[in-house]
Amino acid sequence: FSSGWGLVRINVRAPEQVVFACLQDFQRYPSMISAIRAAEVHRAAGSAVRCSYRITKLWLEVPTVHQVEPTQGRVTFDIDPAATGLVLREASGFWQVRSNRGNPVESRVVFRVFAHASDLMPNWLVEYGARKCLKRATAWLKPYAEQLWTMQRRTER
């Protein structure tokens, strides 16, 4: 077991555009996601955005390429294949945001990821990391987007 898929679905009490804005605000990820210590946006060309993130207490660098697809409500990510190393050989996935049909101020978010760990990583560590990372990758979005939506509604009054 050195590779696999993960999937998480969450409902967020905020409109689709608010949730999507959070997902594509790459520079602010450190203030939104506890595992990300620093973020640099290197360049954007069309829908592609190249970023470098420093994660965990070890400040591991994760160079990432995002594709922002507003009409699809999708933000994809791929770890730069030229930069993979000791921990990950490959990681890719997407965030998909859709308005909840019954409630336009609620969104349904799907997060799907594929990861392939380095052969140097022991299986127990890969399994532990997969469980922990999937939770961390999604736990931040709901409270952050809901708080942002609450603040936006207050300023509109």
Give the pLDDT confidence score for residue 120 in this predicted structure. Answer: 76
Which single residue is written with the structure tokens 């996935």?
93
Question: With 90 as the cut, is the pLDDT of residue 123 above it?
Answer: no
Provide the 3-class DSSP secondary structure of residue 35: coil
Average pLDDT over residues 108-135: 80
Which residues does 15 contact at the CB level (< 8 Å), separation at least 6? Answer: 99, 104, 105, 106, 107, 149
Q: pLDDT per residue over 66-104, tens digit each?
A: 999 999 999 999 987 766 565 667 789 999 999 988 898
Tell me what the mean pLDDT of segment 113-127 comes to. Answer: 77
**How many Cβ atoms are within 10 Å of 155's Cβ, its own excluded?**
6
What is the pLDDT, as a whole number, of residue 84?
56
Mean pLDDT, to the nearest integer, of 127-152? 86
- In this predicted model, which residue has the larger pLDDT, 151 or 59? 151
Q: What is the pLDDT of residue 4?
A: 80
The pTM assigned to this predicted structure is 0.86
The beta strand positions in 70-137, using DSSP E, are: 74-79, 88-100, 103-117
Model confidence pLDDT, tens digit, residues 1-45: 577 888 999 999 999 999 999 999 999 999 999 889 999 998 878
Cα separation of the two ends of the chain: 53
